[in-house]
């Protein structure tokens, strides 16, 4: 085969091919369902290398379990409502919808350029009508169950801007939940004015109704990080201490870019839910974003004015929208039937695919998002929609990428873009490097010092793949092959990818010494989750059928994983006094232990120290 490492040609080629053949689409009734989900991103625009690391961590799992014979669903979507698009609209005049759609298109293209094995046919977008009508449906069900109610609560209010502010828009001061009306809660991020607490009538979800169960359920989540469980325990608190920390979830936002709260206020009947047949309550396109003392939706009269579904009298719609955490509290279920327009999701399919097998996301979601997902799971179970109480069996929280000491982000201006790295080194090198630079669960400071090494690593694999197969070498090389399969497999399952990749690098050096067929094939098979384009390209150049993704993951023989034993002479004072049998690579401590365990030799070496130890050759005492 030709051994050209022309990644700039074959990476886009395989991305197109995978898309055209629907390589990562999975049928809802596929056998052995297995669901790997990266927390769906906020569409912020260009990806930086911190994103690359996040999404590669999940994709390695998806590709690995697929090769283990499971029907892997790795869905993706967009947490597409929220404040940044609305802020941008106020500043630039670009409508939040346009801003968001443009960012989604940009990020979709970029994720594809990394070779992510998503089932794009299942993508969900929180700001699509076909999605948020079910977010509104959920609100109404919670209301009917007594789990949504209206109450008074303080918000941050900027008198100069005439608007309520989110906590992240207030600089300094206590959270408004702790403040009496009129008390200063900090300064406005936009204009610098003093921000005060102001009481408003708002909607809450009664998460405290499940407090005991949310607390007890943590004990069963033994495949969630202990740190997350501890944080959740503290957040919920204990009833005996009187100090429920857990408060009901305030879901009203005085914002435009969110799902409208599907409630109507009638002068006679009071608060009435929108009939389900009338959903969605559409977000009007034309509103005035500039704050004038009321939420932006109040500026759209054709939105506000309606009739009461109970008495038919003129009535007003709620003009607030829902916290975006509501969108992400139920999205996992939508993936099983994303196009169903008769119900939020297919409950039978949800029971087959969920709880999610592996859920991957940032540790910053340890409390709020995960608490809300657990709450909604319980509420849906109570309503008969789900047969389980916890949404994910295994949770992996990944470490952030830092640069110059700060978390890498677009807003901080310290992002290293994916584009420049992919152009220079290719997607596989970037994937490999971000997985190799540190254990996936730990934070890491971005550095490019090792990326060249990862690039050369792939180049050397191409060179080897074209080398004529030699006969199988000495026993020890085959043993190393088995050990490498075991190490890489365990490293992937344990999210210790960096140790798996370093085992592959050591193994590469061994295969280069005598490129035997099984050695080369194993190497290519084991890099496939990390460097999928390279593995697929070599597979194809070898003339193999189908995709390497469909080939079985290599297996090891446990008996072959131990190093071969060798006999070495034991010298005492210059004379050979006997031999011991040791693994070829045994350490000096192990060698001394073997000598001490020999009845005859142990007496001979008593009181002596080791002068020379050459593994596999000799141990010599003074
Ligand atoms: Zn202000
Ligand atoms: Zn009425």
Residues forming beta bridges with residue 48, ordered by sequence position: 417
**Residue pLDDT, tens place only, 364-392:** 888 889 999 999 999 999 999 999 999 99
Cα 321 to middle of ligand 1, angstroms: 21
Cα 309 to middle of ligand 2, angstroms: 7
Q: From start to end of 189-336, where are the E strands? A: 194-205, 249-250, 252-253, 263-266, 270-273, 305-307, 314-317, 321-322
Token couple for 317: 């719609």
| Least confident span in 178-182, 512-516, 545-549, 562-566 | 178-182
270 phi-psi bin (left φ>0, alpha ψ -120 to 50, beta other):
left
Produce one character per residue of 192-213: b if its CB has 16 or more CB atoms within 10 Å, e if not.
eeebbbbebebbbbbbbbbbee
Residue 50 has pLDDT above 90, yes or no: no
Whether omega before 95 lies within 30 degrees of 0, making that bond cis, reads no
Residue 612 has pLDDT above 90, yes or no: yes
**Domain residue ranges in the chain:** 20-124+329-407, 133-324, 428-560, 565-621
The reply to whether 428-560 shares the fold of 20-124+329-407 is: no
Cα 274 to middle of ligand 2, angstroms: 12
**Residue pLDDT, tens place only, 94-138:** 999 999 999 999 999 999 999 999 999 999 999 999 999 999 999
CA distance 533 to 550: 14
Phi, psi (deg, nearest 5) at residue 12: -65, -30
Which ligand lies nearest the alpha carbon of 316? Answer: 2
Task: Note the pLDDT of residue 240.
Answer: 63
Cα 149 to middle of ligand 2, angstroms: 18
pLDDT, average across residues 351-359: 98
Residue 395 has pLDDT above 90, yes or no: yes
Cα 293 to middle of ligand 2, angstroms: 27
Task: Note the pLDDT of residue 521.
Answer: 95
Selected residue with higher pLDDT from 401 and 388: 388
Residue position matching structure tokens 């196009």 = 339
Q: Among residues 219, 303, 218, which one has the least CA distance to residue 262?
A: 303
- Confidence class of residue 321 from pLDDT cuts 50, 70 and 90? very high
- Confidence class of residue 247 from pLDDT cuts 50, 70 and 90? confident
Produce one character per residue of 109-132: b if its CB has 16 or more CB atoms within 10 Å, e if not.
ebbbbbbbbbbbebbbbbbeeebb
Mean per-residue pLDDT over the chain, rounded: 93
Q: Which helix (H) or strand (E) holds 33?
A: strand 33-38
Task: Note the pLDDT of residue 269.
Answer: 97
Which ligand lies nearest the alpha carbon of 270? Answer: 2
Cα 264 to middle of ligand 2, angstroms: 9
- Confidence class of residue 179 from pLDDT cuts 50, 70 and 90? low
Task: Note the pLDDT of residue 189.
Answer: 83
What is the reported pTM? 0.89
Cα 203 to middle of ligand 2, angstroms: 20
Residue 154 has pLDDT above 90, yes or no: no
Question: Could you tell me which CATH number the domain at 565-621 has?
Answer: 3.10.20.590
Cα 140 to middle of ligand 2, angstroms: 17
Selected residue with higher pLDDT from 159 and 98: 98
Which ligand lies nearest the alpha carbon of 162? Answer: 1
CA distance 622 to 605: 9
Token couple for 551: 């080939």
Which ligand lies nearest the alpha carbon of 159? Answer: 1
Cα 157 to middle of ligand 1, angstroms: 8
Burial class (CB in 10 A: 0-12, 13-18, 19+), 606: exposed
Which ligand lies nearest the alpha carbon of 187? Answer: 1
Phi, psi (deg, nearest 5) at residue 561: -85, -20
CA distance 448 to 432: 12
| Least confident span in 91-95, 178-182, 436-440, 551-555 | 178-182
CA distance 494 to 516: 29
Token couple for 466: 């074209």
Share of the chain above pLDDT 90, in %: 73
CA distance 405 to 446: 9
Residue position matching structure tokens 């968001």 = 100
Cα 324 to middle of ligand 2, angstroms: 29
Task: Note the pLDDT of residue 562.
Answer: 80
Q: Which residues contact 385 (CB under 8 A, 6 or more apart)?
A: 333, 344, 345, 347, 350
CA distance 226 to 228: 5
Q: Which CATH superfamily is domain 428-560 in?
A: Isoleucyl-tRNA Synthetase; Domain 1 (1.10.730.10)
pLDDT, average across residues 561-574: 87
Cα 214 to middle of ligand 2, angstroms: 37
- Confidence class of residue 241 from pLDDT cuts 50, 70 and 90? low
Q: Which helix (H) or strand (E) holds 481?
A: helix 475-493
Task: Note the pLDDT of residue 475.
Answer: 81
Which ligand lies nearest the alpha carbon of 156? Answer: 1
Cα 255 to middle of ligand 1, angstroms: 15
**Residue pLDDT, tens place only, 250-283:** 999 989 999 999 999 999 999 999 999 999 999 9
Question: Could you tell me which CATH number the domain at 20-124+329-407 has?
Answer: 3.40.50.620
Task: Note the pLDDT of residue 251.
Answer: 93
Cα 317 to middle of ligand 2, angstroms: 12
Task: Note the pLDDT of residue 180.
Answer: 75
Which ligand lies nearest the alpha carbon of 264? Answer: 2
Cα 141 to middle of ligand 2, angstroms: 20
Task: Note the pLDDT of residue 164.
Answer: 82
Residue 214 has pLDDT above 70, yes or no: yes
CA distance 80 to 447: 31
- Confidence class of residue 583 from pLDDT cuts 50, 70 and 90? confident
Phi, psi (deg, nearest 5) at residue 605: -100, 0
What CATH class has 133-324? alpha beta
Share of the chain above pLDDT 70, in %: 98
Ion ligand 1 nearby residues (CB, 5 A)? 158, 160-161, 188, 190-191, 193
Task: Note the pLDDT of residue 249.
Answer: 92
Cα 191 to middle of ligand 1, angstroms: 4
Which ligand lies nearest the alpha carbon of 193? Answer: 1
Residue 90 has pLDDT above 90, yes or no: no
Q: Which helix (H) or strand (E) holds 154?
A: strand 148-158
CA distance 118 to 387: 26
Task: Note the pLDDT of residue 488.
Answer: 98
Cα 510 to middle of ligand 2, angstroms: 79
């Amino acid at each position: 085969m030709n051994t050209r490492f022309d990644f700039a040609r074959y990476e886009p080629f395989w991305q197109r091919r995978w898309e055209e053949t629907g390589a990562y689409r999975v049928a809802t009734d596929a056998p052995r369902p297995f669901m790997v989900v990266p927390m769906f991103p906020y569409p912020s625009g260009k990806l930086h290398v911190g994103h690359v690391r996040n999404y590669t961590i999940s994709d390695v799992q998806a590709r690995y379990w697929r090769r283990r014979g499971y029907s892997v669903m790795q869905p993706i979507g967009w947490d597409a409502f929220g404040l940044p698009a609305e802020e941008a609209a106020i500043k630039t005049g670009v409508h939040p919808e346009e801003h968001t759609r443009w960012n989604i298109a940009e990020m979709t293209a970029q994720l594809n350029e990394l070779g992510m094995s998503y089932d794009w046919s299942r993508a969900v977008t929180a700001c699509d009508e076909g999605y948020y009508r079910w977010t509104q449906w959920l609100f109404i069900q919670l209301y009917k169950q007594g789990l949504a109610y209206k109450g008074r609560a303080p918000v941050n209010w900027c008198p100069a801007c005439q608007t309520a502010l989110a906590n992240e828009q207030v600089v300094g001061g206590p959270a408004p939940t702790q403040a009496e009306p009129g008390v200063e809660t900090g300064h406005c991020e936009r204009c610098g004015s003093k921000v005060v607490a102001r009481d408003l009538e708002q909607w809450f979800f009664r998460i405290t109704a499940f407090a005991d169960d949310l607390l007890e359920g943590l004990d069963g989540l033994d495949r969630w990080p202990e740190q997350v469980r501890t944080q959740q325990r503290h957040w919920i608190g204990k009833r005996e201490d009187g100090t429920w920390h857990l408060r009901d979830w305030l879901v009203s936002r005085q914002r435009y870019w969110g799902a409208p709260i599907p409630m109507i206020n009638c002068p006679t009947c009071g608060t009435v839910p929108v009939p389900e047949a009338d959903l969605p309550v559409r977000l009007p396109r034309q509103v005035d974003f500039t704050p004038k003392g009321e939420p932006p939706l109040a500026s759209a009269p054709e939105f506000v004015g309606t009739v009461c579904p109970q008495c038919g009298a003129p009535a007003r719609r709620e003009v607030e929208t829902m916290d975006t955490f509501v969108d992400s509290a139920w999205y996992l279920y939508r993936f099983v039937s994303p196009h169903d327009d008769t119900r939020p999701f297919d409950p039978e399919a949800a029971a087959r695919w969920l709880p999610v097998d592996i859920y991957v996301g940032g540790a910053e979601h340890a409390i709020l998002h995960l608490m809300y997902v657990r709450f909604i799971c319980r509420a849906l179970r109570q309503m008969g929609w789900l047969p389980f109480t916890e949404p994910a069996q295994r949770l992996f929280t990944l470490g952030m990428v830092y640069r110059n000491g700060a978390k890498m982000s677009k807003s901080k201006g310290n992002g290293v873009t994916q584009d420049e790295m992919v152009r220079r080194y290719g997607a596989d090198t970037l994937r490999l490097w971000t997985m190799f630079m540190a254990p996936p669960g730990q934070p890491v400071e971005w550095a490019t010092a090792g990326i060249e090494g990862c690039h050369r690593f792939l180049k050397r694999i191409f060179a080897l793949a074209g080398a004529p197969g030699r006969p199988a070498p000495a026993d020890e090389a085959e043993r190393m092959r088995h050990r490498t399969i075991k190490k890489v497999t365990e490293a992937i399952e344990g999210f210790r990818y960096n140790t798996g990749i370093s085992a592959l690098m050591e193994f590469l050096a061994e295969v280069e010494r005598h490129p035997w067929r099984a050695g080369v094939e194993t190497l290519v098979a084991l890099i496939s989750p990390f460097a999928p384009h390279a593995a697929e390209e070599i597979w194809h150049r070898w003339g193999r059928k189908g995709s390497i993704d469909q080939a079985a993951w290599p297996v090891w023989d446990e008996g072959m994983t131990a190093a071969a034993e060798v006999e070495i002479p034991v010298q005492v004072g210059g004379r050979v006094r006997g031999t011991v049998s040791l693994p070829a690579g045994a350490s000096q401590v192990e060698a001394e232990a073997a000598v001490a365990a020999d009845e005859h030799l142990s007496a001979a070496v008593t009181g002596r120290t080791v002068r020379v130890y050459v593994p596999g050759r000799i141990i010599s005492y003074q």
